């Protein structure tokens, strides 16, 4: 008899073959990083089921199995080779194998030059990504698959990173997009990520085999692959066990099962996780640190003086919105910092309503908007000025340190770093396709462990042995956290370790700094993430420099915009007044652009008085109404005008005119 065991990133699979090569036992379960314990339990079940077989030919495979095989002296076979053995043994003719696992994705081209493509540092588009999206939709994986069967429309969703995908999905949920469309869109996003990220232009054709948990459990994901590739792939009934089957077919060395179980039970890890230096050694050291950073503050007043004009800065970010109102002395008289929940317009409207209701005689001299939603806010509320986000942050940083050399800003999903030379921005560093190390990165782990971000951050301040987790994709880091938990790391150690990871990601992945001297001596750090004292301390330790963090770190973009508006010396702002705000309404319409064959998805915001804003466009044609020589469909244009005509109430009821009359015309 033969045993094949596949230890993956999240699950463990096993098969037992009889002397005729037939499967007589198989199992599949999640191991939750308790690999040794689960393997021991599995072998005991097999031993008890087949008590006469004291020794069996055994081999193990899988992404988490190599180290285990070396430590426990059992035969190992590489998972790609095991998959190929199983496929060529069980299937007559296979050209391509697409396999999705918990944190890994693979495409095996078996013909026309054998080639293997695997994901590396990003786990976007894998099973863990689908798990994250199901949690966001508040659905089980089975419910998500069933719901997707009724989809009508596919929306563009980022699949490279779960954090970015969340930003795409949340606004669609707020707009009332049905979950069937969102579920199907997530599956198509996984397909696009797999094909674009792994195939990279090599054509997938012929007989395609679908393997792995996500493709086995989600029929709609398989259909999405079929539709995109324009073929019909095959997902065998035992697709979950192909690596384990390959390991069993490969096995040739007999192993005493009882002795192996004893080895597993007696095995103790000789090595522990890597540790970083503690953030603070004593309470006195922390108190001194707090006192130093509290010096960089703006005076905050609790009320607005209606005799003196105020200026307002609005920073509409990807996940949060920040608004600051300042007086003539540049003191903050009002501010908010809150999640936008995908509905920025309503948040700004509520803020302005509160200002007008609390201070009916308030004088607003100017308003400036910046950030991700700058143009939307400008169009919606007749905001006076818009400014580039980097300039807004630089303006605020100069207010605190006029000779600043370098600015590091870590937000919810983005990292922005500016090199300053001769009083101007000389170079800009941004995170691109990965959001590991951003604010949402910490928030995800805090929520997963049952803490608020503030509670989780404070836990790590006095950790004696912070875990050195490096800086990786959020999905991969999740496995690292589970592993060090298994090895005995406390929640305090993990909290401190994640704070260090945030800083390392910014310094070594985004800025790619070789040393602190290359950044300069006068460094300002800002963004909501730096309100976390553990992250701030980790930054100073990594750079070996005392940096300046303003007490309004999370409001710097809005404060910079307010300072910019103050510098314009306006008498009166054009922003909507109280009566205009009372009559303010907006509609959101999702449609597709018809100006070229790409048919990009557009979100059209209408605000009355003919004001509108178009989002989602990838070029200026929907905004500028350029058609670049194409013949316009005048009837389509006429119908769109009729559809968008506002509903009005008539004194004598309504008259319906059949569209058939237009057809005749």
Cα angle vertex 454, ends 452, 457, to 5°? 105
Backbone angles phi, psi at 362, to 5 degrees: -60, 145
Q: Which of 234-243, 280-289, 432-441 has the lowest mean pLDDT?
A: 432-441
Contacts of 241 (CB under 8 A, 6+ apart): 6, 13, 15, 23, 26, 28
More reliable by pLDDT, 657 or 393: 393
Structure tokens at 279: 């953030």
Structure tokens at 56: 């069996």
Tell me if 299 is assigned to some domain. no
Backbone angles phi, psi at 327, to 5 degrees: -95, -170
Backbone angles phi, psi at 57, to 5 degrees: -75, 125
Structure tokens at 588: 């959101």
DSSP-assigned letter for residue 100: E
SS3 269: coil
414 and 365 together in one domain: no
pLDDT number for residue 130: 87
- Assess whether pLDDT exceeds 60 at residue 627: no
106 and 33 together in one domain: no
H/E stretch holding 397: helix 389-400
Q: Which is nearest to 35 in space by CA: 486, 508, 546?
A: 486
Instruction: Count other Cβ atoms within 10 Å, centred on residue 289.
Output: 18
- Assess whether pLDDT exceeds 70 at residue 663: no
H/E stretch holding 352: helix 344-358
410 and 396 together in one domain: no
**Averaged pLDDT for residues 635-663:** 72
Tell me if 278 is assigned to some domain. no
**Averaged pLDDT for residues 589-614:** 79
Backbone angles phi, psi at 605, to 5 degrees: -100, 125
- Assess whether pLDDT exceeds 60 at residue 664: no
411 and 394 together in one domain: no
393 and 410 together in one domain: no
pLDDT tens digits, residue range 290-344? 999 988 888 888 789 999 999 999 999 877 899 999 999 999 999 999 887 767 8
Contacts of 556 (CB under 8 A, 6+ apart): 392, 393, 396, 397, 409, 526, 527, 550
Tell me if 14 is assigned to some domain. yes
pLDDT number for residue 457: 83
**Backbone φ/ψ region at 136: left (φ over 0), alpha (ψ -120 to 50), beta:** alpha
Q: Which is nearest to 461 in space by CA: 548, 546, 552, 532?
A: 532
Are the C-beta atoms of residues 593 and 621 closer than 8 Å to each other? yes
Tell how far CA 354 is from the center of its chain.
33
DSSP-assigned letter for residue 548: B
Are the C-beta atoms of residues 606 and 420 closer than 8 Å to each other? no
CATH number at residue 452: 3.30.420.40
Percent of the chain whose pLDDT exceeds 70: 88
pTM over 0.75, yes/no: no
Structure tokens at 244: 């384990």
Are the C-beta atoms of residues 598 and 566 closer than 8 Å to each other? no
DSSP-assigned letter for residue 467: B
414 and 534 together in one domain: yes
Q: In terms of residues, how long is the chain? A: 665
| Structural domain containing residue 604 | 587-664
Q: Which is nearest to 479 in space by CA: 188, 192, 101, 107?
A: 101
430 and 468 together in one domain: yes
Tell me if 415 is assigned to some domain. yes
Are the C-beta atoms of residues 58 and 75 closer than 8 Å to each other? yes
CATH number at residue 253: 3.30.420.300
pLDDT tens digits, residue range 394-425? 999 999 999 999 999 887 777 888 899 888 99
132 and 98 together in one domain: yes
Residue 435's pLDDT band (cuts 50, 70, 90): low
N- to C-terminal Cα separation, the chain: 80
Tell me if 285 is assigned to some domain. no
> What gap in Å lies between CA 106 and CA 116, rounded to an integer?
7
Place of tokens 């999705």: 100
Tell me if 99 is assigned to some domain. yes
**Averaged pLDDT for residues 345-357:** 94
4 and 105 together in one domain: no
432 and 388 together in one domain: no
pLDDT number for residue 271: 45
> What gap in Å lies between CA 325 and CA 337, rounded to an integer?
12
509 and 564 together in one domain: no
Number of folded domains that form the chain: 5
pLDDT tens digits, residue range 46-86? 999 998 888 999 999 987 787 778 888 899 999 899 999 99
> What gap in Å lies between CA 206 and CA 86, rounded to an integer?
19
Q: Which is nearest to 499 in space by CA: 455, 550, 553, 538?
A: 538
67 and 97 together in one domain: no
> What gap in Å lies between CA 369 and CA 467, rounded to an integer?
40
pLDDT tens digits, residue range 452-508? 888 888 888 998 888 888 766 655 676 677 667 656 577 888 888 888 888 887 887
Pairing of strands 424-430, 364-371: unpaired
Average pLDDT, the chain: 85
Sign of torsion over alpha carbons 204, 208, 212, 217: positive
> What gap in Å lies between CA 103 and CA 121, rounded to an integer?
10
Q: Which of 113-117, 139-143, 358-362, 433-437 has the lowest mean pLDDT?
A: 433-437
Structure tokens at 659: 């569209």
Q: Which is nearest to 213 in space by CA: 66, 58, 86, 106?
A: 106
Tell me if 508 is assigned to some domain. yes
Contacts of 126 (CB under 8 A, 6+ apart): 100, 101, 102, 103, 104, 105, 119, 214, 475
Tell me if 296 is assigned to some domain. no
> What gap in Å lies between CA 430 and CA 433, rounded to an integer?
10
Are the C-beta atoms of residues 270 and 115 closer than 8 Å to each other? no
> What gap in Å lies between CA 458 and CA 455, rounded to an integer?
5
Are the C-beta atoms of residues 171 and 372 closer than 8 Å to each other? no
SS3 49: helix
Structure tokens at 631: 């013949």
> What gap in Å lies between CA 627 and CA 594, rounded to an integer?
10
């Amino acid at each position: 008899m033969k045993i094949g065991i596949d230890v993956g990133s999240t699950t463990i699979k096993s098969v037992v073959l009889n002397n005729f090569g037939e499967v007589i036992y198989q199992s599949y379960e999640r191991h939750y990083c308790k690999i040794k314990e689960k393997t021991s339990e599995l072998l005991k079940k097999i031993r008890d089921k087949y008590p006469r077989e004291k020794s069996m030919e055994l081999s193990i495979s899988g992404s988490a199995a190599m180290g285990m095989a070396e430590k426990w002296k059992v035969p190992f076979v590489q998972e790609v080779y095991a998959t190929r053995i199983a496929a060529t043994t069980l299937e007559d003719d296979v050209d391509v194998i697409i396999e999705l696992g918990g944190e890994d994705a693979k495409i095996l081209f078996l013909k026309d030059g054998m080639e293997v493509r695997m994901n590396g540092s990003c786990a976007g588009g894998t099973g863990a990504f689908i798990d994250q999206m199901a949690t966001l939709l508040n659905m089980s994986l089975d419910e998500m698959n069933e719901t997707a069967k009724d989809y009508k429309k596919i929306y563009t969703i980022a699949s490279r990173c779960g954090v970015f995908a969340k930003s795409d999905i949340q606004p669609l949920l707020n707009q009332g997009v049905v979950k069937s469309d969102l579920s199907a869109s997530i599956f198509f996003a996984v397909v696009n990520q797999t094909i674009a990220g792994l195939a990279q232009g090599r054509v997938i054709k012929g007989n395609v085999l679908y393997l792995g948990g996500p493709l086995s459990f989600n029929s709609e994901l398989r259909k999405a692959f079929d539709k995109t590739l324009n073929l019909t792939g095959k997902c065998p009934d035992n697709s979950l066990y192909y690596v384990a089957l390959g390991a069993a077919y490969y096995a040739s060395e007999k192993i005493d099962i009882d002795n192996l179980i004893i080895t597993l039970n007696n095995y103790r890890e000789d090595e522990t996780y890597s540790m970083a230096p503690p953030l603070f050694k004593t309470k006195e050291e922390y108190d001194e640190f707090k006192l130093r950073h509290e010096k960089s503050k703006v005076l905050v007043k609790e009320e607005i003086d209606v005799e003196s004009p105020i200026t307002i800065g609005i920073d509409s970010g990807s996940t949060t919105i920040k608004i600051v109102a300042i007086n003539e002395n540049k003191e903050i008289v009002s501010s908010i910092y809150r999640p936008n929940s995908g509905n920025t317009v309503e948040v700004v409207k509520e803020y302005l309503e509160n200002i007008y209701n609390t201070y009916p005689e308030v004088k607003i001299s100017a308003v400036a908007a910046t950030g991700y939603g700058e143009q939307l806010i400008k169009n919606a509320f007749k905001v006076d000025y818009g400014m580039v986000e980097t300039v807004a942050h630089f303006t605020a940083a100069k207010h605190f340190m006029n000779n600043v050399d370098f600015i590091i800003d870590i937000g919810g999903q983005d990292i922005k770093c500016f090199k300053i030379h001769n009083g101007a921005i000389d170079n800009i560093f941004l995170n691109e396709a990965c959001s590991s190390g951003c604010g949402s990165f910490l928030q995800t782990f805090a929520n997963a462990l049952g803490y608020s971000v503030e509670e989780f951050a404070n836990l790590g301040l006095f950790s004696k042995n912070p875990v050195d987790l490096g800086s990786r994709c959020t999905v991969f880091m999740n496995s690292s956290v589970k592993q060090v938990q298994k090895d005995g790391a406390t929640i305090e150690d993990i909290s401190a370790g994640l704070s260090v990871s945030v800083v390392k990601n910014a310094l070594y992945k985004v800025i790619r700094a070789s040393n602190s001297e290359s950044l300069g001596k006068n460094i300002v750090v800002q963004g909501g993430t730096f309100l976390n004292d553990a992250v701030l301390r980790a930054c100073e330790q990594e750079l070996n420099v005392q940096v300046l963090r303003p007490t309004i770190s999370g409001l710097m973009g809005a404060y910079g915009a307010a300072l910019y508006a103050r510098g314009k010396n306006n008498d009166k702002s054009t922003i909507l007044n109280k009566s205009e705000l009372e009559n303010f309404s907006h509609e959101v319409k999702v449609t597709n652009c018809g100006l070229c064959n790409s048919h990009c998805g557009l979100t059209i915001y209408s605000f009355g008085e003919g004001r509108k804003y178009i989002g989602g466009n990838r070029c200026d044609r929907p905004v500028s109404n350029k058609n670049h020589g194409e013949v316009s469909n005048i009837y389509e244009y006429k119908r769109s005008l009729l559809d968008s005509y506002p509903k009005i109430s008539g004194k004598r009821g309504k008259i319906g005119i059949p569209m058939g009359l237009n057809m005749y015309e």
